[in-house]
């Protein structure tokens, strides 16, 4: 029997489409659109896969989408971040132990040892916050990761600002008849740390009450993938948290830059200047990279910025002191301080 057809049948993965001819038996075979399948011959229509599934290459069957996040099993980046986090945390603990051991020595006392202790603890906690960013996101990690890092690192930047203000006050108070002498006490620096940190805590509490972060399953950014990520809830709160932290860092940098050349044996201002310059450079460079990426790469950019900025602050401020404490103990004396101050 002759076939009354103008063309062959449409195979699975295609659908029939009129070609504008005079005979209804004449049609074109059109491939199914992206995200659609057909599993019968001469199918009239293609069907969408479920939201969590994607067609195979032939567009015949649907299979589960690939789930994408910073995985401990699949991503080498996670192991690199994990190694640096553990390394920097161990270094911070070592410095903390050294400072406790030399608690009553002149170099530890010189720039407010209590604030230095709080700064080291806040840097350590900032390093440990990286663990909230790694692995599959869940509700509790989404709630804690930005808030915990914002509070801990703001506490560290507040300590740096308190140290800078202490240096400024100390040198203004040396002038005869200066009214700044009444401010030369540890209460000023402690109050700076408490007030500046409390403002960030207030921001974060409002953020969690108004629009808390949550786990989001993004099906649309990349075809065939589900990006499991944290939605920050309120972008205004998120960028307010980062902006406030940046404001404190900028103020610390400006004040430290102004007093960086003042003569003193253990003047931290020049080290604070370098640390805040590094901090501002890292986060300014991070923002466009953060906004131009998606999914796990966005998280990787922020983790890199956290590790780099925390390590920079740790190295710039504490390594010079560590060098004197461990390798040049003859400089860690009251007589040496007085002699250098006379020079």
**CATH number for 125:** 1.20.1070.10
By C-alpha distance, which of 274, 282, 280, 271 is closest to 249?
Answer: 280
96 with 38, same domain?
no
pLDDT value of position 14: 87
Low-confidence ranges of the chain (pLDDT < 50): 1, 265-266, 340-343
What is the maximal distance between C-alpha atoms in the chain?
118
In a domain, 169, yes or no: yes
119 with 241, same domain?
yes
In a domain, 4, yes or no: no
Instruction: Check: CB of residue 283 under 8 Å from CB of residue 305.
Output: yes
22 with 127, same domain?
no
CB atoms under 10 Å from CB of 206, counted, come to 13
For residues 85-94, one letter each, b for 16 or more C-beta atoms within 10 angstroms of the residue's C-beta and e for the rest, the string is beebbebbee
CB atoms under 10 Å from CB of 199, counted, come to 13
Distance CA 192, CA 166 (A): 10
Is the sign of the CA dihedral 55, 61, 67, 71 positive or negative? negative
**Which residues, in sequence order, are bridge partners of residue 68?**
227
175 with 246, same domain?
yes
Number of structural domains in the chain:
2
pLDDT value of position 85: 93
CB atoms under 10 Å from CB of 6, counted, come to 12
109 with 241, same domain?
yes
Interhelix angle 269-291/235-258, rounded to 10 degrees, is: 150
Instruction: Check: CB of residue 89 under 8 Å from CB of residue 128.
Output: yes
Structure tokens at 249: 């860092």
In a 10 Å sphere around its CB, with 0-12 CB exposed, 13-18 middle and 19+ buried, how is residue 219 labelled? middle
- Domain of residue 236: give its range: 76-342
Report strand pairing: 27-31 vs 47-48. Answer: unpaired
pLDDT value of position 341: 45
Final residue in a domain of this structure, among 23, 41, 64: 64
pLDDT value of position 65: 85
Distance CA 141, CA 204 (A): 15
Structure tokens at 291: 């906004």
Q: pLDDT digit string (tens) for 189-248?
A: 788 888 989 999 998 999 999 888 988 888 877 777 888 888 888 888 888 888 898 888
pLDDT value of position 290: 80
177 with 232, same domain?
yes
In a domain, 298, yes or no: yes
22 with 55, same domain?
yes
pLDDT value of position 86: 94
- Segment 291-298 long-range contacts (CB within 8 Å, at least 24 positions apart): 294/218, 294/221, 294/222, 294/227, 295/68, 295/69, 295/218, 295/221, 295/222, 295/225, 295/227, 295/229, 296/68, 296/69, 296/70, 296/75, 296/77, 296/227, 296/229, 298/229
pLDDT value of position 187: 72
In a domain, 7, yes or no: no
Is the sign of the CA dihedral 327, 332, 337, 339 positive or negative? negative
pLDDT value of position 263: 55
pLDDT value of position 120: 92
pLDDT value of position 223: 79
39 with 93, same domain?
no
215 with 118, same domain?
yes
Distance CA 309, CA 306 (A): 5
Please list, in sequence order, all residues whose beta carbon lies within 8 angstroms of the beta carbon of residue 295, skipping any fewer than 6 positions away: 68, 69, 218, 221, 222, 225, 227, 229
pLDDT value of position 94: 94
43 with 153, same domain?
no
155 with 25, same domain?
no
243 with 128, same domain?
yes
Structure tokens at 105: 């020595």
Distance CA 182, CA 169 (A): 10
């Amino acid at each position: 029997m002759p076939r009354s057809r103008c063309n062959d049948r449409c195979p699975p993965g295609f659908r029939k489409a009129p070609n504008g001819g005079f005979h209804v038996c004449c049609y074109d075979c059109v491939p199914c659109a992206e995200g659609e399948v057909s599993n019968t011959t001469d199918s009239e229509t293609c069907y969408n896969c479920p939201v969590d599934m994607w067609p195979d290459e032939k567009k015949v069957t649907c299979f589960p989408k690939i789930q994408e996040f910073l995985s401990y099993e699949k991503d080498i980046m996670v192991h690199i971040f994990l190694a640096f986090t553990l390394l920097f945390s161990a270094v911070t603990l070592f410095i903390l132990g050294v400072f406790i051991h030399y608690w009553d020595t002149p170099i530890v006392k010189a720039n407010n040892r209590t604030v230095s202790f709080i700064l080291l603890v806040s840097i350590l906690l900032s390093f440990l916050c990286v663990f909230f960013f790694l692995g599959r996101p869940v509700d509790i990690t989404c709630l804690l990761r930005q808030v915990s890092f914002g509070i801990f690192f703001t506490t560290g930047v507040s300590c740096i600002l308190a140290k800078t203000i202490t240096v400024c006050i100390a040198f203004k108070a040396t002038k005869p008849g200066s009214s700044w002498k009444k401010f030369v006490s540890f209460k000023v620096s402690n109050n700076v740390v408490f007030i500046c940190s409390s403002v960030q805590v207030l921001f974060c509490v409002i953020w969690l009450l108004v629009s808390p972060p949550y786990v989001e399953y993004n099906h649309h950014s990349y075809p065939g993938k589900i990006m499991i990520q944290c939605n920050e809830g309120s972008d205004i709160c998120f960028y307010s948290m980062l902006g406030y932290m940046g404001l404190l860092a900028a103020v610390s940098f400006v004040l430290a830059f102004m007093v960086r050349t003042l003569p003193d044996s253990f003047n931290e201002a020049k080290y604070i200047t370098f640390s805040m310059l590094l901090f501002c450079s890292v986060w300014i460079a991070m923002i466009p990279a953060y906004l131009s990426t998606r999914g796990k790469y966005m998280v990787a950019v922020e983790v890199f910025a956290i590790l780099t900025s925390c390590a920079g602050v740790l190295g710039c401020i504490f390594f010079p002191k560590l060098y004197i404490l461990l390798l040049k103990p003859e400089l860690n004396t009251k007589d040496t301080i007085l002699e250098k101050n006379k020079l």
